[in-house]
Amino acid sequence: MPEIPNFISESAIVEKNEPIAQGIYLMRLHAPRLATASRPAQFLQILTDPGSSPYLRRPFSVLRANRKAGWLDLIYDVIGPGTERLSTAQCGDQFDASGPLGNPFVPPETKRILLVAGGVGLVPLAFLAWEHLDRRPDMIYLMGAANTARLPDMSALLPADLPLHIATDDGSIGHRGFVTELIAEHTLPNHTTILTCGPHPMMARVAHIAAELDTPCYASLENHMACGFGACVGCVVEYKTYPTEDRRYRCVCLEGPVVNAHEIVW
């Protein structure tokens, strides 16, 4: 395993584990060292069920961390045996957690910061908002979901007074359509940076719109990860080099998950 700065392995104790939308859970873990070290868009690797399948750890971003109390919150979508096991966890259960891994979001200096989230991609962007409350007047949060059943109560997950605009595919709440359709109206020409996380097609569309608007854009990628530190090369993404635009590959776990969206071959 390569040397990773500030790498921590800790026994994390479940303090809360509850559904917050259809198939989506919030878990609070008491893990003081990881809570202190984690930054927005970095991820933890959690061993969900020692000794049985799945044998590999699963990556999870942090929603919020209380460094004084020593806890951090995760949000996860139940989509396989690992997250199925997590959904059955009770208060007091313990999981082996390690991290934080990857590079974090850094708040840009532009006058406006547009946060574009889809599904559980809301997590790292919410953490950024919590970590930089002083920049709250500069931030606008755009949230996309399939419908109200798949949309958590955002008021419980985001800082108060953070401007929020919601889009649902079926129009059951907010704008009817894709969250990407809200980007242009909230972009200040030459004074906006877009940060995004969510499903791959959504982020690809965000990057395309940002390019059309000549606006900086950074994405937190959600590629499948196994090892988390570049050994398995299972999370590679193709990108373009400038000015030649040669095609090369990067491991998302090591050189991401936050990347310049304009460099990625979507």
Whether the model pTM is above 0.85: yes
Q: Which domains does the chain have, with CATH numbers?
A: 8-101 (2.40.30.10)
Where does the pLDDT of residue 241 fall: very low under 50, low under 70, confident under 90, or very high at 90 and above?
confident
Would you state the pLDDT for residue 50?
72
The neighbouring-strand residues paired with 16 are 28
Of 136 and 34, the structure prediction assigns the larger pLDDT to 34
Would you state the pLDDT for residue 143?
99
pLDDT tens across 108-160, in order? 999 999 999 999 999 999 999 999 999 989 999 999 999 999 999 999 999 99
Would you state the pLDDT for residue 139?
97
Q: Check if the beta carbon of residue 41 is closer than 8 Å to that of residue 257.
A: yes
Q: Check if the beta carbon of residue 180 is closer than 8 Å to that of residue 205.
A: yes
* Cis peptide bond prior to 243, omega within 30° of 0: yes
Q: Check if the beta carbon of residue 166 is closer than 8 Å to that of residue 210.
A: no
SS (H, E, C) the chain: CCCCCCCEEEEEEEEEEEEEECCEEEEEEECHHHHHHCCCCCEEEEECCCCCCCCCCEEEEEEEEECCCCEEEEEEECCCHHHHHHHCCCCCCEEEEEEEECECCCCCCCCEEEEEEEHHHHHHHHHHHHHCHHHHHHEEEEEEECCHHHCCCHHHCCCCCCCEEEEECCCCCCEECCHHHHCHHHCCCCCEEEEEECCHHHHHHHHHHHHHCCCCEEEECCCCCCCCCCCCCCCEEEEECCCCCCEEEEEHHHHCEEEEHHHECC
Cα–Cα distance, 69 to 198 (Å, whole number): 29
